[in-house]
Amino acid sequence: MKKVTVILAHPYFSKSNANAIIVNSLKELENVNLRHIDSIYPNGKIDIEAEQKILSESDMIIFQFPTFWYNVPASLKNWIDNVLAYGFAFGANGDKLKGKEFLVSTTIGGPEAGYSSGNVTIEELFVNLKTLGNFTGMKNLPMVKSYGMAFIPGINEDLEAVQQNAKAQAETLIKLINNSK
């Protein structure tokens, strides 16, 4: 059975509506190892060897996160910088991720219109993650994303719509997990 590792980066997970639904759906799968890096490493000091071992044993790696100011959360950037190191993910003997499937899944608080009509698309915004996948020899799968995912009283008060979109995103992820390789 394929081993899937989900790297969840969400510093405010206890207040999450969308990511909580997505993650709880993925946790129901027996082959999924969820790594909430903000909980595991609240001080930002990552056990690099442990994380690298887990990735080495994985067939698929998923980054799950809310988009923060057109970027990944700082904890994910810190994790990438430390774990995907020379000699592990690239460079001399750095082939430990080669051939693994890589999927980026993000929730975006704002509407899709905020990422078009003159602005960059989410895919363009996260071309760095696609490049990361290519550079480390992983197979990039299509990005999974949802817009309008912030429940903010007075601005976006349709919690039910956020929850339905999160469930749909979780279903898409589950299909990709079950139908890949």
What pLDDT, on the 0 to 100 scale, is given for residue 99? 97
Q: What does the pLDDT read at residue 154?
A: 63
Q: What pLDDT sits at residue 157?
A: 66
pLDDT, residue 81, reads 98
Q: Write down the pTM of the prediction.
A: 0.94
Instruction: Check residue 156 and give its pLDDT.
Output: 62
* Residue 172: per-residue pLDDT: 96
How far lies 10's CA from each of 34, 57, 67, in Å?
13, 24, 10
Q: Tokens for 142, please give them.
A: 């299509």
pLDDT tens for each residue of 148-166:
888 666 656 677 888 999 9
What domains, with CATH codes, occur in the chain?
A: 4-179 (3.40.50.360)
What pLDDT score does 117 carry? Answer: 66
**Residues of the chain below pLDDT 70:** 117, 151-157, 181
